Structure 1
């Protein structure tokens, strides 16, 4: 399929990947984990209470759309993108 999976290496394995790829992968992973953490903490994404799949999907879309809107507001204000605490107090 043309995809390459990069898994974390064990301590006894040699790393033949370029350092720039390892750094990029780490920063992307950190950003993704931060967003997932915000969705679960601030928006209670895992506690949907949906009984049907379409209800769960709708609530998940709404949470992701709200998160994206907050990121866009932070970007327009020149603030850190994932800093949502200051939006309500500023």
Structure 2
């Protein structure tokens, strides 16, 4: 192999690494479709449940922040829904 060919392979590997983790995503999508088509599960698992590796790994601190944000958003949505329900009932 010449040095030029080696450099071409290095450039290709930087764009599309050998053992590309996106293949993992493709197989997870395929598995999800097979599970949903088979009828063995009422609800197909999410793609994240089927991935071997986490494509967006978080530290425990980052995960706690994301969880807190999601909890706050759910609480806000619940509060707004409750207020709307109480306003409708008050009008009756």
Tell whether the structures are fold-level matches, with TM greater than 0.5.
no
Which structure shows the higher helix fraction? 2
Structure number with greater Rg is 2
Provide TM-score, normalisation by structure 2: 0.33
Provide TM-score, normalisation by structure 1: 0.34
Structure possessing the higher relative contact order (Cα contacts under 8 Å, 6 or more residues apart) = 2
